[in-house]
Amino acid sequence: MQADQPPDQPPDLPGEEHRDRPGDQRRIDLTALREDYRLAGLDEADLEADPLDMFDRWLRQAMAAGIHEPNAMVVATVAADRRPSSRSVLLKKVTDRGFCFYTNHESRKGRELAGDPRCALLFPWYELQRQVRVEGVAARLPHADAEAYFASRPRESQLGAWASAQSRVVASRGELQQAYDEATARFRGEAVPCPPYWGGYVVEPDALEFWQGRHGRMHDRLAYRRVPSGWVIERLAP
């Protein structure tokens, strides 16, 4: 054992030679992890006039590239005490109004959207060295829309919607399983209806940014901003 290595100190991992303070001693040094972005560029001439048309194009390209769950997006909301939170959900539809997803209205995000409908979305398509940011306001979709989508879900997911009081504290995994078993028994032999507390949101955007990684960290950032006459496009410094 080295004289300057205390008995309870694990050996350094590769890349951990540089440490700033004792509290960092067990952390992995990530400073050397980087990638040179060279796949593509994004010019103003490449853009669609409507940002939702531009998003459709990039989403189709992400799907064609075989990206895992290209419709996965991070939804950021804010609580009444101004504490932000974020989580990944699946985009299920894009309409002329905006971006649609479904969830439990009584979950944390549902409660926070009820208090402040302003939110942000992020689509991180790392393999294409791209991301799309969306800022807007969420509104509930009609319950008929939620019922139609709910009917298309796998039965196991339908039962899970009844069994899970999403975002609430539970005592154990066993408690969750018991609730799932009870839902299974309740709806045995019949269609599982959409719970009254489960539904959809559409995020109506007022700003979108299309980000394309470039060499030397001189990334392309082209942003759409809604104005009374439509959309204006601005280039942002990387």
pLDDT tens, position by position, 190-233: 999 999 999 999 999 999 999 999 999 999 999 999 999 999 99
Residue that wins the pLDDT comparison between 158 and 29: 158
Percent above pLDDT 70 for the chain: 89
| Domain boundaries 34-151+196-236, CATH class | mainly beta
Domain boundaries, the chain: 34-151+196-236
Residues taking part in catalysis: 217
Give the C-alpha separation, 232 to 221, whole Å: 14
Q: What is the pTM of this model?
A: 0.87
In the predicted model, is pLDDT for residue 104 greater than 70? yes
pLDDT of residue 27: 85
138: nearest Cα among 206, 207, 204: 204
In the predicted model, is pLDDT for residue 1 greater than 50? no
Give residue 53's pLDDT band: very low, low, confident or very high (50, 70, 90): very high
CA 116 to chain centre: 18
In the predicted model, is pLDDT for residue 21 greater than 70? no
117: nearest Cα among 141, 140, 138: 138
pLDDT of 66-88, one tens digit each? Answer: 999 999 999 999 999 999 999 99
pLDDT of 153-187, one tens digit each? Answer: 999 999 999 999 999 999 999 999 999 999 999 99
Is the separation of the CB atoms in 36 and 213 below 8 Å? no
Give residue 20's pLDDT band: very low, low, confident or very high (50, 70, 90): low
Total count of residues recorded for the chain: 238
Backbone CA torsion sign across 108, 111, 113, 115: negative
In the predicted model, is pLDDT for residue 12 greater than 60? no
Percent above pLDDT 90 for the chain: 86
181, two tokens = 């078993």
62: nearest Cα among 127, 11, 107, 113: 127
CA 11 to chain centre: 37
Residue indicated by tokens 């890349």: 15
Give residue 18's pLDDT band: very low, low, confident or very high (50, 70, 90): very low
25: nearest Cα among 41, 42, 10, 37: 10
Give the C-alpha separation, 92 to 12, whole Å: 45
Give the C-alpha separation, 71 to 80, whole Å: 29
222, two tokens = 């082209």
Is the separation of the CB atoms in 141 and 200 below 8 Å? yes
